[in-house]
Every structure is written in structure tokens, then in C-alpha cells.
Amino acid sequence: MSSILLSLHSADETDFAISDEIVFTPLAQEGSVNWFLCRHASSGETFVLATAANEEALFQVTQRLKNEFSLRNTLYLKAGRLSL
């Protein structure tokens, strides 16, 4: 598995493209995790990307995201049982 660490040096929250295919829009930074809305330029398909905010946090963030991903079904089922 390979990883690409993205460094944002922009003071504003504007869209940027690393390639001609995907446009990244910063959504939030939560501790050491950066969240991006990604849009495929030709198809318009969108997805959310979470990545480490810096290289030092890469291992910690990777473990955290793996744990959250593995718990997604459990959390979804519990959320479905809650009534608001």
C-alpha cells in the first residue's frame, strides 16, 4: 500500500487539483486528520478523503482510520436503533 501526503500551504479554503482528474476541496481539520471533498472532473462522482495532516501523524491517523472503518457496521446498526 502506498500513501501520498498532501501539504496545503494555502491560507484560503479554495479548491485545488493534484491531477487533471480529481478536484480536492478542504472540508475540515480535526486534530491530525484533514478531510477533503473529492470530485472526479469528468464523471462528477464525489467522495470524502481523510488523510494525515502531517508526516509525523501518519501512523497514528492510519491506525485511527482503520479502527473507525472496522467499526462502521456496528456504529451504523446502533445508530439505527436510536430514536430521536
Domain assignment present for residue 39? The answer is yes
Radius of gyration of the chain, Cα coordinates, nearest whole angstrom: 15
Residues with Cβ within 8 Å of 14's Cβ and at least 6 positions away in sequence, in order, are none
The better pLDDT of the pair 33, 76 is held by 33
Average predicted confidence (pLDDT) for the chain = 78
Domain assignment present for residue 41? The answer is yes
Tell me how many domains the chain contains: 1
**Quick one: pLDDT band at residue 81, thresholds 50, 70, 90?**
low
- Compute the average pLDDT of residues 48-59: 92
For the stretch 34-44, pLDDT in tens is 999 999 988 99
Domain assignment present for residue 7? The answer is no
Boundaries of domain holding 27: 16-81
**Quick one: pLDDT band at residue 55, thresholds 50, 70, 90?**
very high
Domain assignment present for residue 21? The answer is yes
pTM equals 0.64
